[in-house]
Amino acid sequence: MKVKDGIIGLVVGDALGVPVEFQSRYSLKMNPVEGMIGHGTHNQPEGSWSDDTSMTLATMASIVNKNAIDYEDIMKEFCNWFLNDKYCQKEQFDIGIATQNALIEYRKGIPALECGGTGERDNGNGSLMRILPLAYIPDIDYETIENVSAVTHAHKRSRIACVLYVEIAKSMLENEGFPIEEHIEIASEKIQAYYRDEPELKHFKRIFEDDLDDEDEISSKGYVIYTFESVIYCLKNTSNYKDAVLKAVNLGEDTDTVAAICGGLAGIYYGFDDIPIDWIDAIPQIDKVLSLCEKYEAFCNEY
Ligand SMILES: [Mg+2]
């Protein structure tokens, strides 16, 4: 099964980062995360996942239940998470501002595709962190990926970030054995060809040009471009799942989301067996995630 490689990679990365979210890089340099720990920032038990995982699971469950990508239903399941703690281990404890605003709009009866913020300030990493499931759907088109972003994050920059991420994941799924740089290059070329004169492409320049080797120039804050750059930096400068996600967490700031987005790709690239089993076992209710992965894989195979 392939779906669990990326999805469990994402969940484990999220859970590793939750206890130290918002900690500075300096403080993590002094006291780095080396494995699964509990409490900290959100005072949650060891192995707790956050919004990144919950919204990813909600997306997968909606697609499985509807046997289709239904934007209204995806928003309904996001509300079920936010209001009813569905897709949580215990309760919802973390939500981004843009996502919360979009869910409030949806509750007012606004159509799903009109709920996401379109301002330049609405470009947090909140749609990038939950877009991975789409990479497993054969021949998924860019418009659909953009729309799944747009229900919470409708600015073109966030939409393109989601398409680029799905393309990198797809390249890893399709071209096994290629080095990481090559997957990024393949995906970057596709995006630049498709969006051609789109002015937003300039924000992705450092990713396209492979100009991400200096850690001092990488910010791991929640802006979608900074997050994406951090993820690429971590993938390029490590050689296994464990080191990639620990590097992501220890960059500081938006630790859970950077590690979740990095972990999704690292899980695909290195495979499920490279994810430390004691980290997987430390996550309460991981069986529910694995069973949803199986259902989602069946959907993708029949698509
Ligand atoms: Mg989170």
| Residues, beta carbon < 5 Å, ion ligand 1 | 50-52, 94, 256
Structure-token pair, residue 47? 């192995």
3-state secondary structure of 186: helix
How many angstroms does the Cα of residue 100 sit away from the middle of ligand 1? 13
- Mean pLDDT, residues 217-227 taken together: 96
Q: Give me the residue spans of the domains in the chain.
A: 3-32+49-302
How many angstroms does the Cα of residue 29 sit away from the middle of ligand 1? 21
pLDDT of 220:
95
- Going along 230-270, which residue ranges are E strands? none
Mean pLDDT (the chain) is 97
- Mean pLDDT, residues 296-301 taken together: 97
- pLDDT > 70 in the chain, percent: 100
Structure-token pair, residue 27? 């403080």
3-state secondary structure of 217: helix
On the question of pLDDT at 93 being above 90, the answer is yes
Question: What is d(CA 85, CA 80) in angstroms, rounded to the nearest whole number?
Answer: 7
How many angstroms does the Cα of residue 277 sit away from the middle of ligand 1? 22
Question: What is d(CA 302, CA 251) in angstroms, rounded to the nearest whole number?
Answer: 40
**Cα 276 → chain centroid:** 19
Single out the residue of 89, 92, 81 nearest to residue 58, CA to CA. Answer: 81
How many angstroms does the Cα of residue 159 sit away from the middle of ligand 1? 19
Structure-token pair, residue 288? 């529910």
Question: What is d(CA 229, CA 270) in angstroms, rounded to the nearest whole number?
Answer: 20
How many angstroms does the Cα of residue 178 sit away from the middle of ligand 1? 30
How many angstroms does the Cα of residue 112 sit away from the middle of ligand 1? 22
How many angstroms does the Cα of residue 54 sit away from the middle of ligand 1? 9
How many angstroms does the Cα of residue 194 sit away from the middle of ligand 1? 31
- pLDDT > 90 in the chain, percent: 98
pLDDT of 145:
98
How many angstroms does the Cα of residue 14 sit away from the middle of ligand 1? 7
Per residue in 173-216, pLDDT tens? 999 999 999 999 999 999 999 999 999 999 999 999 988 999 99
* CA dihedral of 277, 279, 285, 290, whole degrees rounded to 10: -50
On the question of pLDDT at 1 being above 90, the answer is no
* pTM attached to this predicted model: 0.97
Under 8 Å between Cβ of 146 and 152: no
How many angstroms does the Cα of residue 19 sit away from the middle of ligand 1? 10
pLDDT of 95:
95
DSSP string, 31-56: S---S----GGG---TT---HHHHHH
Biggest distance spanned by C-alpha atoms of the chain: 49
Question: What is d(CA 227, CA 5) in angstroms, rounded to the nearest whole number?
Answer: 21
Question: What is d(CA 253, CA 21) in angstroms, rounded to the nearest whole number?
Answer: 6
pLDDT of 303:
87
Question: What is d(CA 19, CA 50) in angstroms, rounded to the nearest whole number?
Answer: 10
On the question of pLDDT at 88 being above 90, the answer is yes
Per residue in 8-52, pLDDT tens? 999 999 999 999 999 999 999 999 999 999 999 999 999 999 999
How many angstroms does the Cα of residue 177 sit away from the middle of ligand 1? 31
Strand partners, 64: none
Confidence bin at 242 (pLDDT 50/70/90): very high
Strand partners, 153: 117
Structure-token pair, residue 168? 């990198």
Find the angle CA(77)-CA(80)-CA(82) to the nearest 5 degrees: 115
The second-level CATH assignment, the architecture, of 3-32+49-302 is Orthogonal Bundle (1.10)
Under 8 Å between Cβ of 249 and 37: no
Question: What is d(CA 251, CA 235) in angstroms, rounded to the nearest whole number?
Answer: 13
How many angstroms does the Cα of residue 94 sit away from the middle of ligand 1? 6
Single out the residue of 222, 65, 57 nearest to residue 133, CA to CA. Answer: 57
**Cα 214 → chain centroid:** 23
How many angstroms does the Cα of residue 17 sit away from the middle of ligand 1? 8
Confidence bin at 97 (pLDDT 50/70/90): very high
pLDDT of 195:
98
Under 8 Å between Cβ of 96 and 80: no
Strand partners, 223: 124
Structure-token pair, residue 92? 């919802």
